[in-house]
Amino acid sequence: MGILSENKRAALLSVLFLLGVCLIWEFSIPAPKAAGELTEYELLTGGGQPKAGVPPPSQVIGKAWEQLSNPFYDAGPNDKGIGIQIGYSIYRVLTGYALAAVIAIPLGFLIGMSSVAYKALNPFIQVLRPISPLAWMPLALFVIQDSEASAIFVIFICSIWPMLINTAFGVAGVREDWVNVARTHELGALKTAFTVILPAAAPTIVTGMRISIGIAWLVIVAAEMLVGGTGIGYYVWNEWNNLDLTSVIFSILMIGIVGMLLDSLFGLLQRAVAYSE
């Protein structure tokens, strides 16, 4: 009962904080003027919407209602609903992420179980891991010559390292006596890996996967700003070019909400594989 009460207090505090920020934003920051509201002097001197103020929450809520009431409309290459844009981004993220998982988790097992493999591969990991994913974009565009595949490659390259490192760390940290018990029961290497090592290392592996999905969602927005076409990153950039700050703020909020949902899904998975000794 005490925990429930604490959760309620935390939720109430969050709501009050949000309302406070919105009220301050609504009444203390001047809203942008519409074209018809500009004076003749402002029109002649170039005074316009970008310099006149930041859209208040009421305008952002209106834009959210407009966009979310029909999120999957398609009126041409540069006019698609927010649902379609997010769908493209999630597709690219999950494709690159899945490819990274297919390589990172088995390779992480190999590194975690073999000191020779660790010593052989660690120099390459330490050189490639700090490189910004977006630094790969020009090379990917030149070699692959396809913007869609290049964006997926960038997601792949940024997702692989947290999963690889956490998998290797989790596998190497499995208690030796558990592995010895498996050997005592004459379990083969493959069966030992799946019945002993994988369950024990699963919490650490999922932590790496959770970190990777967050990084992938961060990177796809920047990648889509560069390659254009479709996706939530392109949507943000396109609305900025249209000088529609209300749509820009709305899309930023949508990016945060989708990122929170992806992280929450992996948080549930993390709790599902957690174990207590």
Q: For the domain with range 57-273, which CATH number is right: 3.40.50.2000, 1.10.3720.10, 1.10.260.40, 1.10.150.120? A: 1.10.3720.10
Split at pLDDT 50, 70, 90, the class of 48 is very low
Residue 166 CB neighbours (<10 A): 25
Split at pLDDT 50, 70, 90, the class of 50 is very low
pLDDT given at position 180: 60
d(CA 67, CA 45): 33
Per the rule left: phi > 0, alpha: psi between -120 and 50, beta: everything else, 74 is beta
Confidence (pTM)? 0.82
Q: Measure CA 250 to chain center.
A: 17
pLDDT tens string 156-175 = 999 999 999 999 998 887 76
- Length reported for the chain: 277
Q: Which letter does DSSP use for residue 70 in this model?
A: S
Is the pLDDT higher at 179 or at 77? Answer: 77
Split at pLDDT 50, 70, 90, the class of 186 is low
* Domain segments of the chain as ranges: 57-273
Question: With contact defined as beta carbons under 8 Å apart, do 130 and 183 qualify?
Answer: no
Alpha helices by DSSP H, 173-197:
176-184, 189-192
Residue 265 CB neighbours (<10 A): 12
d(CA 54, CA 135): 32
Q: Using the structure block, give the residue that is written with the tokens 């396809």.
A: 146
Alpha-carbon Rg for the chain in angstroms: 24
pLDDT given at position 33: 53
What's the whole-number mean pLDDT along residues 24-53? 55
Task: Give the end-to-end CA distance of the chain in Å, rounded to a whole number.
Answer: 27
Is the pLDDT higher at 189 or at 268? Answer: 268
Residue-by-residue DSSP string for 135-152: GGHHHHHHHH--HHHHHH
Closest CA to 265 of 198, 200, 217: 217
